Structure 1
Amino acid sequence: MNLDLRDHRRRLLLLTDRSQLPLGRSLVSLVADCVEAGLTHVVVRELDETELSRTALVAALTEVGATVISAHTPLYGAAGVHLPADPAVVAPRDLPWGRSCHSATEVHVAAAAGASWATLSPFAASVSKPGYAALSPEEYAASGAAGIPVFALGGITPSTAADAIGAGVDGLAVMGAVMRAADPAAVVRELLDLLEDAPW
C-alpha cells in the first residue's frame, strides 16, 4: 500500500459509514465519484456487516479505483488494516496497518509497535460521534515526532481542514462531511485543494 505523502492525494483518507448516506445513494457510487475527484484511499468500516459482505464491498470499491483499507480486521483484497484504539487488538503480520489514537502518547506507542500510520481524534466536534471533547493543538503537535503519518479525524470539514493542517498533522481523515454531503465529490475536491496548497 502506497502512503507516499509526496502525492497530496494520499493525505486524505475517507472512512465509510453507509448509515449516514442520503436516502437512495449507494456507497459504491459515492466512492466512485470521490475517486474521480481525486480520492485514493478508503477505510471500509461497516462493522455491523458480515465478513463476507465487507469483503464484497472491498472488491467493489477496489473495482472503482480506490485503494481499500479494512477497519478492525484484515479482509481479503484490502491493502491494509486500520485497527481500533485498543492495544490488545493484535496487528497483522503480513499487511501494513494503522491505529485509531486519541492522544499523542497513543500515536507514539502505535509507531513503536510498527504502525504505518495513525488517526488522531477528535480534532473538532463531530456529528458522527457527539459528546467527545476536541483534542488540544498541543496533542497534535506532539504526535508529529512519532515518525509515522498522522491523520486528523473527527469534525473534519472544508471549514476545519485548514486549522487541522496548521496543527501539524500529515493528512486528513474524513467521514461524515463526505458521507452526508449533497455533492461528496465537491467536498473531496475542496479538501484535496487545501492539502495541495499546504506548505508541507
Structure 2
Amino acid sequence: MSIFNKSVYLVTDDSIMDFDTLYTKVELALQGGVGLLQFREKKSSSKVFYAHGLKIKALCKKYNVPLIINDRLDIAQAIDADGVHLGQSDLPLTVAKKILDPKKIIGISANTVETALDAQKNGADYIGVGAVFPTNTKNDAVLVSENTLSEIQSAVSIPIVAIGGITLENASSIINHKIDSIAVVSAILGQDDPKKATQYLNDLFSLV
C-alpha cells in the first residue's frame, strides 16, 4: 500500500508567510485531509527550524499525519520526525539510510529515469519528480516533461509524487497520470480556505 493513499502532499515554504499564519493554515489543511506534510524552512536558523519543527510535529501528531523534514537530516533526527526528503545535492541516500532509523521515511528528488532508478536501488521510499510546471517557490527548478514523468513511473515500483507549479487549475492533468500523490505549496497555503482546497485536490484522485 502506498504511504500516500492517493492524498495530497503538502510542502511548506517559509518565504510565503510568517510562522503563526503558516501554522494556522497547515492545521486547516490537515483537517482537509493532507496525507503527508513536508516541513521546509530555507531561511531560518537551525534553532528556529528546530523550534518550529517541534510545533509542526505536535500538530501532525494531532491529525495522525506523517511529518517529513526537507533536506535537514539533523533536524529530522532532533525532533524525531517521521522522515526526511533529500535532493540530489543533499546528503547521499546511502549515508542517510545508515543514520536514520530503518522505520523512517526517506524521499528523494529525481528528474531523470537514471536518478529515479538509483534512488529506488538505494532504498528510497518514494520519489519526488519535478518540476512538472514552472514554479515560483524554486527558481532553479528543472522542468520535467510529461513523457519523462511517465517514463519514471514505468521504470520504478516505489511511489511517485509529482511536484512543482501544481495549482488547483492544472492538478487534474497531472493526477491523470495515475501517480501516487501531488506535492503542493501555494495551491493550499496560498488559498483563503486551505481546508477546502485540500479537499478539492484529494477529490481529484477519485476521478482517475
TM-score normalised by structure 1 residue count: 0.85
Q: Distance in 1 between matches of 2:35 and 2:19?
A: 24
Tell me the alpha carbon deviations over residues 113-150 of structure 1, each in whole angstroms, 9 at most, x when there is no partner.
11001110111121223475632211111111211111
Q: Which residue of 1 is the match for residue 40 of structure 2? A: 45
Q: State the Cα distance separating 1:55 from its structure 2 match.
A: 2.5
Tell me the alpha carbon deviations over residues 86-123 of structure 1, each in whole angstroms, 9 at most, x when there is no partner.
27533233232111112222111111111001110111
Q: Which residue of 1 is the match for residue 145 of structure 2? A: 136
- Map 1:14-53 to 2 at 5 A: 14-21=10-17, 26-53=21-48
**Structure 2: runs of 5+ lacking an equivalent:** none
Matched, 1:123 2:132: yes
Q: State the Cα distance separating 1:73 from its structure 2 match.
A: 2.0
Change (3 A) 1:53 1:155: same
> Is 2:72–2:84's contact at 8 Å kept on the other side of the alignment?
yes
Q: Which residue of 2 is the match for residue 82 of structure 1? A: 85
Matched, 1:165 2:168: no
> Is 1:18–1:179's contact at 8 Å kept on the other side of the alignment?
no
Q: State the Cα distance separating 1:186 from its structure 2 match.
A: 2.0
Q: Which residue of 1 is the match for residue 156 of structure 2? A: 146
Q: Distance in 2 between matches of 1:51 and 1:32?
A: 23
Q: State the Cα distance separating 1:38 from its structure 2 match.
A: 0.9
> Is 2:14–2:43's contact at 8 Å kept on the other side of the alignment?
no
What is the aligned length?
A: 193
Letter in 2 for 1:101: A
Q: Distance in 2 between matches of 1:79 and 1:92?
A: 13
Q: State the Cα distance separating 1:18 from its structure 2 match.
A: 2.4
Q: State the Cα distance separating 1:171 from its structure 2 match.
A: 1.2
Change (3 A) 1:184 1:97: same
Tell me the alpha carbon deviations over residues 68-96 of structure 1, each in whole angstroms, 9 at most, x when there is no partner.
10111222221000001227533233232
> Is 1:116–1:149's contact at 8 Å kept on the other side of the alignment?
yes
> Is 1:165–1:171's contact at 8 Å kept on the other side of the alignment?
yes
Q: State the Cα distance separating 1:58 from its structure 2 match.
A: 2.5
The DSSP-based 3-state class of the residue aligned with 2:96 is: coil
> Is 2:26–2:189's contact at 8 Å kept on the other side of the alignment?
no
Q: Distance in 2 between matches of 1:53 and 1:87?
A: 20
Q: Which residue of 2 is the match for residue 59 of structure 1? A: 54
Q: Which residue of 2 is the match for residue 114 of structure 1? A: 123
**Structure 1: runs of 5+ lacking an equivalent:** none
Q: Which residue of 2 is the match for residue 195 of structure 1? A: 205
Q: State the Cα distance separating 1:14 from its structure 2 match.
A: 0.8
The sequence identity of aligned pairs, in percent, is: 23
Q: Distance in 2 between matches of 1:62 and 1:113?
A: 27
